[in-house]
């Protein structure tokens, strides 16, 4: 910036005819010299030039990275009649993993599964799916999956081997083994059951030990003790007017959440009922669950108080229904009052109420069975006529196996 008047100066630098200021006046934007910096040490390019070059470099790199790779599509030599490129095919299948069951439709393109949806023709899940089912398609594209048998050496996965070599090594050890145990999760597949039967016929010293990571062993043992049937009954949440869940996430993870969620939703839709009445849901739990977040009344308790809640609820119902009381841990006065109110609502809906518990304690599950029995729920909202065998794991058998292995 130049001085257009002789008797007016911008500062003392201009009055004294400072050389650096004179050079800076030639630029559009004046950059005053930094103290202690000489002309020789300053760069010839200014900040404006630096930003200009930086922007150009970033733009050039971005444009270079936008090149689309060239991929060639190889057509079929003899195209299958059922495959049309770009048109999806749907295959009916089933998902059974970790105790979670679902009837599904698999969407595929050119033989590659890309999406899983529920099968609307299923009388159990009625077109519903769970998050685990939806995510299972990703496991088909897991690059870390083994492409064949490997030998475990020193605790590490060894080199690949042929199936013939693997069968030979396994058969040799099976023939010389004293006791053979097959450890597997719940087996429902008829084909898998037949394969295990054939295996046991070849090796009579073999036994199957079923173990579920998310165990329902206590529920199975309690049902066997109470009713003589080691199975999970059919729960009808759509028929219940009052639902009480005790640390039981039946909408998220408990036994068959997809099936239960459909039933639960049917009982909560007013437009599907003749009267403006929907089911009432009370959840007693020690953690926030998906089921608890949907409850009409959520009663938070400590994990150590779950057993006391079941005992208190049993005694409250027994006092009104003429049953026998049981001894157990007690609750605080305010929580005891809440349990008493829950029992009052259950007793007002005998035959169309439902109490479920996610406890893996046999004694607690026996008390839950007794509560439902006193409320006349069996044959109405609970039925063994169509029992479920989604959970068959036996914790005692697994504990015995561990004991035998430790004993040599």
Q: How many residues does the chain have?
A: 408
Indicate whether 26 and 93 sit together in one domain: no
Closest CA to 217 of 2, 43, 365, 21: 365
The enclosing domain of 274 has a CATH number of 3.40.228.10
Indicate the residue among 106, 140, 174 that finishes a domain: 140
Same domain, 263 and 329: yes
Average pLDDT over residues 247-263: 91
Q: Are residues 20 and 133 in the same domain?
A: no
Residue 342 lies in a domain: yes
Q: Are residues 224 and 357 in the same domain?
A: yes
Is the model's pTM score more than 0.85? no
Q: Do 304 and 235 belong together in one domain?
A: yes
Domain assignment present for residue 80? The answer is no
Domain that holds residue 29: 12-65
pLDDT value for 62: 78
Number of domains in the chain: 3
| 78 secondary structure, DSSP code | S
pLDDT of residue 13: 67
108 plus 25 within the same structural domain: no
Does residue 228 come out as left (phi exceeding 0), alpha (psi in the -120 to 50 range) or beta? left
Asked if 293 and 335 sit in the same domain, the reply is: yes
> What percent of the chain shows pLDDT beyond 70?
89
The verdict on 242 and 294 lying in the same domain is yes
Domain contains 31: yes
Note whether residue 165 is domain-resident.
Answer: no
Domain end position, chosen among 24, 49, 65 = 65
At residue 155, the 3 state secondary structure works out as coil
What is the average per-residue pLDDT within 330-351?
94
Write the CATH number for 125: 2.20.25
Query: Which of residues 119, 140, 161 is at a domain's end?
Result: 140
pLDDT tens by residue, 151-205: 888 878 888 888 999 999 888 888 888 888 999 998 888 899 999 999 999 888 8
Instruction: Provide mean pLDDT across the span 257-268.
Output: 89
- What confidence score (pLDDT) does residue 82 get? 84
3-state secondary structure of 161: coil
Q: Considering the domain boundaries, does residue 155 fall inside one?
A: no
**Which tens digits make up the pLDDT trace of 277-325?**
789 999 999 999 999 999 999 999 999 999 999 999 999 999 998 888 9
Q: What is the pLDDT of residue 236?
A: 94
The mean per-residue pLDDT over the stretch 216-233 comes to 93
């Amino acid at each position: 910036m130049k001085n257009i008047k002789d008797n007016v100066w911008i500062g003392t630098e201009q009055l004294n005819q400072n050389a650096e200021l004179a050079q800076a006046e030639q630029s559009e934007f004046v950059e005053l010299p930094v103290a202690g910096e000489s002309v020789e040490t300053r760069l010839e390019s200014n900040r404006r030039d630096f930003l200009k070059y930086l922007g150009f470099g970033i733009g050039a790199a971005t444009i270079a990275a936008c090149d689309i790779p060239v991929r060639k599509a190889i057509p079929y030599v003899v195209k299958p009649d059922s495959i049309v490129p770009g048109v999806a095919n749907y295959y009916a299948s089933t998902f059974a993993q970790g105790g979670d069951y679902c009837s599904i439709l698999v969407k595929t393109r050119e033989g590659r599964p890309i999406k899983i949806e529920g099968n609307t023709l299923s009388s159990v899940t009625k077109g519903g799916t769970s998050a685990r089912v939806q995510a299972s398609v990703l496991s088909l594209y897991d690059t870390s999956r083994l492409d064949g048998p490997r030998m475990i050496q020193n605790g590490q996965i060894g080199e690949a081997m042929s199936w013939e070599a693997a069968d030979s090594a396994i058969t040799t050890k099976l023939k010389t083994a004293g006791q053979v145990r097959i450890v597997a999760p719940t087996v429902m597949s008829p084909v898998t059951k037949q394969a295990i039967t054939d295996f046991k016929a070849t090796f009579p010293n073999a036994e199957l030990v079923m173990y579920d990571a998310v165990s329902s062993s206590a529920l199975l043992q309690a049902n066997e003790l109470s009713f003589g049937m080691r199975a999970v009954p059919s729960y009808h949440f759509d028929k219940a007017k009052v639902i009480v869940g005790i640390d039981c996430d039946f909408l998220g993870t408990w036994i068959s959440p997809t099936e239960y969620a459909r039933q639960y939703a049917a009982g909560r839709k007013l437009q599907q009922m003749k009267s403006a009445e929907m089911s009432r849901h009370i959840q007693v739990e020690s953690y926030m669950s998906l089921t608890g977040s949907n409850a009409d009344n959520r009663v938070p308790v400590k994990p150590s108080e779950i057993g006391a809640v079941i005992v208190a609820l049993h005694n409250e119902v027994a006092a009104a229904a003429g049953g026998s009381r049981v001894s157990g841990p007690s609750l605080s006065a305010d929580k005891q009052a809440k349990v008493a109110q829950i029992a009052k609502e259950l007793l007002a809906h005998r035959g169309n109420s439902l109490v479920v518990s996610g406890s893996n304690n046999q004694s607690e599950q026996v008390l839950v069975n007794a509560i439902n029995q006193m409320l006349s729920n069996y044959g109405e909202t609970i039925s063994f006529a169509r029992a479920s065998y989604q959970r068959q794991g036996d914790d005692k058998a697994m504990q015995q196996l561990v004991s035998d292995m430790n004993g040599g």
